[in-house]
Chain A
């Protein structure tokens, strides 16, 4: 493997809190200390108040402050990363996990506290669009300014100038100073330059998040195009779909360290961490416990709607009736809802909404077909079951929202979000939809079994 970026032991130390204190503040603090000492001389020293940690400490993990000097923390600690030619690496992680710091180091904007990194070829980093735009210059002049700041050569810019202007859809406005632009035009121009950057190594930070939908699509197509030409891409985003679509390698960071890497996972034969989809899934799953059963034993605490419906229990069970949260793609699962109707007032329908943990709406199922249409529900205890058949759902983590519909008007519905969650796994055995396909199943939402016909010989 030929590497193009190689980091070893990359670490970066940052300060917590204010860096500068004015002379007056310093003096003030000294004086206050002195008066306190004078006042308390001869008296019993009152106990120091307990140290209250600021919010910043909650963002930080204890491992980040453990071997750091006081008032400092490791924004990045011992990061080893080797990126090969043509890799499209997606870096994901919660806010404050060190993604941006890593990008800043790789872009040479700031230097590491320890460790080192090397790269081969021309590296362009796109941490912001429109860096260095000058309001007094025209759009055309700013293309040159921004382009050369981003590392393009003037000859390159000249060669691609028409393409850039066309991509920006600015037309004649291109010769107007950009301070007269609307914010949308400004962003479009900035994007257009960014989209035409040419380099062997492109580092992109979350910039696709701006711009309208059509423009975003245009840009992500452009990124795929870039990657197709064998260039290397490092992409940071919170948009898991973009990561799944664009990248062929996922890196999950938390608290300044790499905690998941699909390439390493694949090499080590860890089935759950060997593709970009696995990595994005593990990131979304991080910190969430699957909940396959909820029982409200005490009627006083169970969710009650309108004094009519009282939810007693919800659970997910397998074919044998055991409560479980993990199912194979080939296994059906059954959602069981126990509730009590306290008064006869309206018809009640139960709806199940299945979404995946990144929020994609997968399906809805209703009991309307079998429930007595239009009839008011009689008081009493009910148990309803709905089986999610298999094969249907693809590998992933899902949650279920439960809805009760009294009547047909939307304002009457009662909703309990995320009552249950479960995960679907795949052991890659050659039964079910897979057949003898040996690789990862693509990262689509559903994996139903659809009929196929093969006719041979076939003549029209």
Chain B
């Protein structure tokens, strides 16, 4: 694979990325009354349900954090992860009409999903996490400064896995049925609705390598003024790079032949 050629063609088509993003964004919210309001409403309702069910009724411990904050910093990054992984798994199948008719670097489609997920996340971060954190008095400089790193890692991992699965899904459509299931399992093994302190000792190694667990924990720790540990940073960063690079390599390998399987 000619890496330089790939970069060159991505650069040549850089504006198409922007066009795809606009298309997705417009397509998603046309003919809705609330429009972009859904970006905020979706996590807000989810968090509301969590607060009522797990906070008020089940009384899940929150490690001393305000219940709403505890769930906000879990749900919003989780949505960012899902918003890039889910569509990128189906990106070849879902864009068959485009891919079989015209050439462009197909990686761009995945890229546009990542940008879309980032935009949604940033809106929610600015309009939900930040004001709530200030209101509850848990806003710290750490919460702001670690966000770019955590967001980038989340997206790189989501996109990397998506890029690996997309060509498989083009051939065996079973993948798209399995992915939501797998995500659900993954969700329960991620400390989104419970604190990692409630996890039994034998399961702790998993929580030390589960990237979403690292992301959510880092946000939660940031709200009490803690920087993520070096181990956390290295694990997360390493996983992000490995996922993303192998995703791109696998995807590019399949790129020339993938149309024939559609």
Chain A positions within 8 Å of B, measured between CB atoms, are 14, 19-20, 104, 107-111, 125, 127-128, 131-132, 134, 136-137, 141, 144-145, 148-151, 153-154, 177
Write out the residue numbers on chain B whose beta carbons fall within 8 Å of the beta carbon of A150: 102
Write out the residue numbers on chain B whose beta carbons fall within 8 Å of the beta carbon of A107: 102-103
Q: Give the residue name and chain of the A residue nearest to B256 (CB).
A: A111
Write out the residue numbers on chain B whose beta carbons fall within 8 Å of the beta carbon of A136: 26-27, 30-31
A19 and B261 contacting across the interface, CB-CB below 8 Å: yes
Write out the residue numbers on chain B whose beta carbons fall within 8 Å of the beta carbon of A109: 99-103, 259
The 8 nearest A-B residue pairs measured at CB = A111-B256, A108-B103, A136-B30, A110-B259, A128-B101, A131-B101, A148-B19, A127-B101
B259 and A104 contacting across the interface, CB-CB below 8 Å: yes
B260 CB–A CB distance under 8 Å: yes
Cα–Cα, bound, A149→B106 (Å): 11
Cα–Cα, bound, A281→B140 (Å): 80
Q: A20-B172, A110-B260, A136-B26 are in contact. Are A153 and B15 (CB under 8 A)?
A: yes
Write out the residue numbers on chain A whose beta carbons fall within 8 Å of the beta carbon of B98: 131-132, 149
Cα–Cα, bound, A243→B196 (Å): 71
Cα–Cα, bound, A136→B172 (Å): 30
Q: Give the residue name and chain of the A residue nearest to B255 (CB).
A: A111
B260 and A125 contacting across the interface, CB-CB below 8 Å: no
A149 and B30 contacting across the interface, CB-CB below 8 Å: no
Q: Give the residue name and chain of the A residue nearest to B28 (CB).
A: A136
B171 CB–A CB distance under 8 Å: yes
Q: A20-B171, A125-B102 are in contact. Are A149 and B19 (CB under 8 A)?
A: yes
* 14 residue pairs A–B, Cβ–Cβ below 8 Å: A107-B102, A109-B100, A110-B259, A111-B255, A111-B257, A125-B103, A127-B102, A132-B97, A141-B22, A144-B19, A148-B15, A148-B19, A151-B102, A154-B15
User: Would you give the shortest CB distance from A155 to chain B, in whole angstroms?
Assistant: 9
B187 CB–A CB distance under 8 Å: no
Contact among A14, A110, A148 with B256 in the assembled complex (CB-CB below 8 Å): A110
Q: Give the residue name and chain of the A residue nearest to B24 (CB).
A: A134
B102 and A132 contacting across the interface, CB-CB below 8 Å: yes
User: Would you give the shortest CB distance from B94 to chain A, in whole angstroms?
Assistant: 12
Write out the residue numbers on chain B whose beta carbons fall within 8 Å of the beta carbon of A111: 255-257
Cα–Cα, bound, A153→B102 (Å): 15
Chain B positions within 8 Å of A, measured between CB atoms, are 13, 15-16, 19, 22-23, 26-27, 30-31, 97-104, 171-172, 255-257, 259-261
Write out the residue numbers on chain B whose beta carbons fall within 8 Å of the beta carbon of A144: 19
Cα–Cα, bound, A39→B52 (Å): 65
Cα–Cα, bound, A109→B96 (Å): 11
Write out the residue numbers on chain B whose beta carbons fall within 8 Å of the beta carbon of A177: 30
Cα–Cα, bound, A127→B103 (Å): 10
Cα–Cα, bound, A150→B104 (Å): 8
B23 and A137 contacting across the interface, CB-CB below 8 Å: yes
User: Would you give the shortest CB distance from B73 to chain A, in whole angstroms?
Assistant: 33
Cα–Cα, bound, A19→B262 (Å): 10
A151 and B101 contacting across the interface, CB-CB below 8 Å: no
In addition to A109-B103, A137-B27, 5 A-B residue pairs with Cβ atoms within 8 Å of each other are A136-B31, A137-B26, A148-B16, A149-B19, A149-B104
User: Would you give the shortest CB distance from A133 to chain B, in whole angstroms?
Assistant: 9
Cα–Cα, bound, A433→B69 (Å): 93
User: Would you give the shortest CB distance from B225 to chain A, in whole angstroms?
Assistant: 45
Cα–Cα, bound, A14→B261 (Å): 10
Q: Give the residue name and chain of the A residue nearest to B99 (CB).
A: A109
Cα–Cα, bound, A128→B13 (Å): 20
For B15, B16, B100, B103, which residue has the most chain A Cβ atoms within 10 angstroms?
Answer: B103
Cα–Cα, bound, A131→B97 (Å): 7
B259 and A145 contacting across the interface, CB-CB below 8 Å: no
Cα–Cα, bound, A177→B31 (Å): 11
Write out the residue numbers on chain A whose beta carbons fall within 8 Å of the beta carbon of B27: 134, 136-137
Cα–Cα, bound, A148→B101 (Å): 14
For A111, A127, A132, which residue has the most chain B Cβ atoms within 10 angstroms?
Answer: A132
For B23, B27, B100, B101, which residue has the most chain A Cβ atoms within 10 angstroms?
Answer: B101
Cα–Cα, bound, A137→B28 (Å): 11
